[in-house]
Structure 1
């Protein structure tokens, strides 16, 4: 190997430069300087021509094709409108025709207000997309917006303070009552008087649930007064109940019956389906809750004489 500082190295460098700077071969020049041939544009496929021939937008209209069509609504059909306008003459812009819907009517009304200099929004709802919700009354609470029966049953279904879980159960119960077939009401255990037909109950699951609970709810409760009967025995006295305590007793009876049933499935919706099926059984008169209600009323009828007991007279 020769060094670049020696004469042999200098000669090798000159030889390399001469190889790099020499002219290319004549055949290469001919290939580069050959004129470029422009390809002839080919016609489209036959199926493309056939498809475009049926399109009215891709072919010019025939002379007599649109002669019988009526003129557009914004153009004047008089012969004077067909004359071309003068070069400096003002040609009015035809009015734009909007579709007949409420959105265009609202937009046009807003434009007219803006043209007159009026405000587009009311003073109370300025900047709001929807109307303001109604304010809660002075004597009302936020919880009053829920149905009282649904709110009470949800609170009774709640365990360990898990309200969201109880609300999920409540929604599944109402959905089950809505999708289940119409019940067959037993004539031996009818519902409350004035109730709608059984075919209409699934259409309103809230009424379905309320009617089932109010029908099986007891009217009275038995209060045991200790030692009032003498000899250390309790004195049983019937007392009437209001609507909310009656519903609470009925719901607790239904929950007790649901817990005693064997589960037929698994998952989070198992308890809700069992509770809803017990509601249907109550409406149809097949539930054991009716037996509890009858026994309680029978005991209350038998203990009516205790209301005139001397022990109670002293308290009065």
Structure 2
């Protein structure tokens, strides 16, 4: 190897001789003077900073045995575009999409809340209705009659306990001596619908008439008893007040404070089975009204009607 130092201090390589690997043929191994000498461009080594000459070697000799096999023809696969994912796959987005589809179809969006409920969701308040009209009229009336000292929340809690007792209690045994309203369902179906259970008990024991006393109309300062019919709400009010009076006279049969709701529900069951004393009160009112029917033609009553 020969080199020359330039005035600027740089080293310029003129030529360089490097030995390659041993030849593979036995002829060249036996005669080392015949080994080929490979010339390498000195500019490549100077440019690479005298590194190894792996990258500066020429292309490897081709195999003399035969040409390389051609590569197999590659067929490109058909490109299938992936649809865009607009929403993440979770249940919240699924419910939102279902609600949008219902709204677009003109259906009720709030109908999904009825799944898993035993008695369904209450209907929404109409435009010309009040907020308290969303409750059943019997439930609302009984709850207001159970309220004491203006504590409506406690009365509503009692009402829920009463309905739960009627739902979980076994089916009652109706007495043939105290029949219920005509067209009532079988006793085995009453626990399935506690609201019907409560309404049937109150309407069955409610009196059909009431006795109104006209002071001094009978002569001699005596009152004249006149029977008159009542609307359904007034009949139910009298029946519920009778039940409350009977409940207040009973003692609690279990642990807890007073257990008013349990005693009220037990009285409802006894009314259905015909064991309650309220049936006697109802029979007494009807008996008095039957005896006082002749007073309907009294001049004190007829005269007032003509006026």
Which bracket does the TM-score occupy, shorter chain normalised?
0.5 to 0.7
**Distance between the aligned counterparts of 2:224 and 2:281, measured in 1?**
21
Structure 2 counterpart of 1:142? 131
Structure 2 counterpart of 1:92? 79
Shift of 1:159: 0.1
> What residue ranges of structure 2 are gaps of 5+ in the alignment?
1-71, 84-89, 113-121
The answer (yes or no) to whether the contact 2:124–2:134 under 8 Å persists in 1 is no
- SS in structure 1 of the partner of residue 227 of structure 2: strand
The answer (yes or no) to whether the contact 1:176–1:273 under 8 Å persists in 2 is yes
Cα RMSD after superposing both structures: 3.4
Structure 2 counterpart of 1:25? none
**Distance between the aligned counterparts of 1:233 and 1:227, measured in 2?**
5
**Distance between the aligned counterparts of 1:198 and 1:246, measured in 2?**
23
**Distance between the aligned counterparts of 2:252 and 2:186, measured in 1?**
31
The answer (yes or no) to whether the contact 1:172–1:269 under 8 Å persists in 2 is no
**Distance between the aligned counterparts of 2:73 and 2:135, measured in 1?**
70
The answer (yes or no) to whether the contact 1:236–1:306 under 8 Å persists in 2 is yes
Structure showing the higher strand proportion among its residues: 2
**Distance between the aligned counterparts of 1:85 and 1:242, measured in 2?**
96
**Distance between the aligned counterparts of 2:171 and 2:163, measured in 1?**
14
Pick aligned residue for 2:207 from 206, 218, 227: 218
* Greater Cα radius of gyration, structure 1 or 2: 2
Say yes or no: does 1:240 pair with 2:252: no
1:253-275 Cα distance to aligned partner (Å, 9 max, x none): 00000011122234257100000
**Distance between the aligned counterparts of 1:275 and 1:189, measured in 2?**
20
**Distance between the aligned counterparts of 1:186 and 1:208, measured in 2?**
16
**Distance between the aligned counterparts of 1:298 and 1:249, measured in 2?**
17
1:7-49 Cα distance to aligned partner (Å, 9 max, x none): xxxxxxxxxxxxxxxxxxxxxxxxxxxxxxxxxxxxxxxxxxx
Q: 1:272 to 1:313 in 2, by over 3 A?
A: same
**Distance between the aligned counterparts of 2:231 and 2:203, measured in 1?**
11
Say yes or no: does 1:313 pair with 2:295: no
**Distance between the aligned counterparts of 2:143 and 2:124, measured in 1?**
25
Shift of 1:314: 2.4
**Distance between the aligned counterparts of 2:196 and 2:219, measured in 1?**
47
Structure 2 counterpart of 1:72? none
User: Please, which moves more after superposition, 194-203 or 306-315?
Assistant: 306-315
**Distance between the aligned counterparts of 1:214 and 1:278, measured in 2?**
14
Aligned residue pairs, count: 214
- SS in structure 2 of the partner of residue 223 of structure 1: strand
- SS in structure 2 of the partner of residue 252 of structure 1: helix
> What residue ranges of structure 1 are gaps of 5+ in the alignment?
1-83, 97-102, 111-118
With normalisation by structure 2, the TM-score equals 0.62
Q: 1:134 to 1:238 in 2, by over 3 A?
A: closer
- SS in structure 2 of the partner of residue 222 of structure 1: strand
Q: 1:174 to 1:149 in 2, by over 3 A?
A: same
Shift of 1:120: 8.2
Shift of 1:162: 0.4
Say yes or no: does 1:262 pair with 2:251: yes
